[in-house]
Structure 1
Amino acid sequence: MLEWTGERIIPKELKPTNGMLLEHIARYYFAFPHVRGRVLDLACGTGYGSHMMAKDRKREVTEIVAVDNDADTIRYAEREYHHQKITYRQGDAVDPDLPDSLGLFDTIVSFETIEHVRDESAFMQNLERMLRPDGTLILSSPFGRGRGMPTSEPFHVHQLTPAEFAGLFTRYEQVEIYYQRGVVFEKPREGIRYFIGIAVCMKRAAEQMP
């Protein structure tokens, strides 16, 4: 049985009012209008978010491939959040062979992942390689002191600043960045401190690719 570590969310082990659980669920609800076609949920954790997408977007989604690097977590997801449109796979987000293994996607969702990744460039390259032209990437990250700076979170390599987060998406044609406060997403307002950013990015059409 999986144990909640503060990083992998296990809804069945938490109170419905748990703040971190509500924030995680809210990110998937935020993504719903953008989710279509063949979908990748990279760093899917226990699978509850993939299952939410499969149920809510059943008419718009053809397949969801849900990937996590932990074998026990994938087994838990297969058991607790089975759905006919979801395939759970064990995989490393920075593995250079991952795009060839998984193929192309119309939508890629990856929440609270990049702060765990040492090779940020390899992670972003894999996302770009797996996203179809005109596809949509939805990526979130907590904010912090910036690259190379220590963080109080034991599982985080570092936490990007808002400017560093925005700089991840320069190769995308359309980028909208929102800030999360609890279960609310909004454009930044003066005087408000935000702890989480979420970006919705569209890849250039094939004829516009360099």
Structure 2
Amino acid sequence: MSSNREKLVCTGERVIEDDYKASQSSYLIYLFHIATYRFCLPFVRNKRVLDFGCGSGYGTHLLSADCEQITGIDISADAIAYAKDHYRKDNLDYLRVSNIEDESLPFENDTFDTVISFQVMEHIRLVDKYLSEIRRVLRKDGKLVIATPDRTTRLFPGQKPWNVYHVTEYSPSSFGALVRDFFPGTDLYGMSGRKDVLDIERRRTRALRISTYLFTFPFCPEWYRQSMLRLLKYCDGLIGRFRKAGTTQDVQEQKYEFDVEDIQIEREVDASVNIVSVSTNTKTRSP
């Protein structure tokens, strides 16, 4: 087996299963991903599926047991190499693609029955291009499932994202307006769960929005936000490596008092950690 496991850095933007067992907060993020993939199972069963932003491939592989065929795409060559090494199945393939803002998706019109795209939209500047391309490759009456962070529980009003990789984070209303422009038949859901479990995530995001506010305040210059957040992330990475070097405990042995059953995705959630949408492609607008 190749060394892609070592090259694939756990950034928080792609999930590497073993790395996400190191702490309560990171394990909870992993469970958020698992819960989202479970939620979309009814929409992928016996379908041809595109996982747009598959990352390390663990979720794509999870769904492959129910799909007719599933393709995972990502802009990261390392992530795709890791997925090919670790998550193989006859009805599953992976493809590295260019940034959607630079090139169209490498698929014919009406290729897929279902498209899923989790924790991707917040990274996209040209959201119209992203949604338009998904609409093009999705068959009529096909399903689109998107998941993205809910800014109302992560950021102060007007605050820019404290995640250096995020371009825009959305409220349910702003997210719904964008998606419904291309997919009028869109239903919105929110991710919630057991209060004491979600409090772990709320404490994490509260600390981050406060500690980074000097770099993320409204009207903060983008170059300044990017520079300061990258510096902060670099310093956190150094600290993390020193801590990891000082322990011999196997992160896979960590046990927590919660699991994926404590996470729910439901309609009419007041304070969700993630927004989830389910859209039907009516093909009312020409590609």
Query: TM over 0.5: same fold?
Result: yes
Partner of 1:130: 137
The CA deviation string for residues 124-168 of structure 1, in whole angstroms up to 9 with x for no partner, is: 11111111001000001112269x951111110120111111111
Q: Quick one: structure 1 residues 80 and 102, their matched pair in 2 at CA, closer, same or farther if it must change by over 3 Å? A: farther
Aligned residue type for 1:160: Y
SS at match of 1:97: coil
Q: Does the Cα contact within 8 Å between 1:4 and 1:13 map onto a contact in 2?
A: yes
Q: Which of these residues, 170, 174, 188, is aligned with residue 181 of structure 2?
A: 170
Partner of 2:277: 199
The yes-or-no answer on 1:186 pairing with 2:244 is no
SS at match of 1:20: helix
Partner of 2:226: none
Q: Structure 2: which 5+ runs fail to align?
A: 1-5, 194-262
Q: Does the Cα contact within 8 Å between 2:17 and 2:30 map onto a contact in 1?
A: yes
Aligned residue type for 2:272: Y
Decide which structure has greater strand share: 1
* Structure-to-structure mapping, 1:1-210, within 5 angstroms: 1=6, 2-15=8-21, 18-36=27-45, 37-55=47-65, 57=66, 61-91=67-97, 92-100=99-107, 104-144=111-151, 150-167=160-177, 168-182=179-193, 183-189=263-269, 192-204=270-282
Q: CA RMSD in A?
A: 2.2
* In 2: Cα distance, 1:74 partner to 1:101 partner: 21
Q: Structure 1: which 5+ runs fail to align?
A: none
Structure with max Cα Rg = 2
The alignment of Structure 1 onto Structure 2 pairs a total of residues equal to 201
If asked which structure has higher relative contact order (CA below 8 Å, sep 6+), I would say: 2
Q: Does the Cα contact within 8 Å between 1:115 and 1:141 map onto a contact in 2?
A: yes
* In 1: Cα distance, 2:84 partner to 2:109 partner: 18
Q: State TM-score, norm by structure 2.
A: 0.65
Decide which structure has greater helix share: 2
| Shift of residue 95, structure 1, vs aligned partner | 4.3
Q: Does the Cα contact within 8 Å between 1:149 and 1:158 map onto a contact in 2?
A: no
Identity over aligned residues, as a percent?
31
* In 2: Cα distance, 1:71 partner to 1:103 partner: 26
* In 1: Cα distance, 2:62 partner to 2:107 partner: 27
